[in-house]
């Protein structure tokens, strides 16, 4: 069942509708456009798309973790090992000339 309504649209929107819809098909075009908008932009549609993406991508996290596990283990092993003392380079014999270091 259809119901007649009276709406106001910008002239550019009417021109676009007339360009895309066949003569006598404005109402059908607007109905399909509104239904498409609701299906793609509503919170429920967004939730559905997010759920679909989560199901589609659920294995990516575990796959990435598996791929990086060996790299992480190597990094942790380096951190766990105590550093070997390295020979320190001799300090420079240059003296500081700042006013703080020369005051006594």
Q: Would you state the pLDDT for residue 101? A: 55
pTM for this entry: 0.44
Contact 37, 29 (CB under 8 A): no
**Rounded Cα gap, residues 45 and 36, in angstroms:** 11
Degrees, nearest 5: CA angle 97-102-104 = 175
Q: Is 37 part of any domain?
A: yes
Structure tokens at 9: 């649209």
* Percentage of the chain lying above the pLDDT 90 cut: 33
Per residue in 14-62, pLDDT (tens digit) is: 999 999 999 999 999 999 999 998 888 888 888 888 888 888 887 777 7
Number of domains in the chain: 1
Decide: 14 and 7 in contact? Cβ < 8 Å: no
> 67 lies in which domain range?
30-71
Residue 42 inside a domain? The answer is yes
Residue 16 covered by a domain: no
Q: Does 56 fall in a domain?
A: yes
């Amino acid at each position: 069942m259809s119901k007649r309504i009276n709406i106001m649209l910008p002239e550019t929107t009417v021109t676009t509708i007339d360009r895309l819809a066949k003569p006598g098909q404005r109402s059908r075009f607007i109905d399909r456009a509104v239904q498409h908008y609701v299906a793609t932009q509503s919170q429920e549609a967004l939730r559905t798309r997010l759920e679909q993406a989560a199901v589609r991508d659920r294995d990516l996290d575990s796959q990435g973790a598996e791929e990086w596990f060996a790299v992480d283990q190597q990094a942790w092993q380096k951190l766990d090992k105590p550093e070997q003392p390295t020979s320190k380079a001799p300090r420079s014999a240059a003296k500081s000339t700042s006013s703080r270091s020369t005051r006594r």
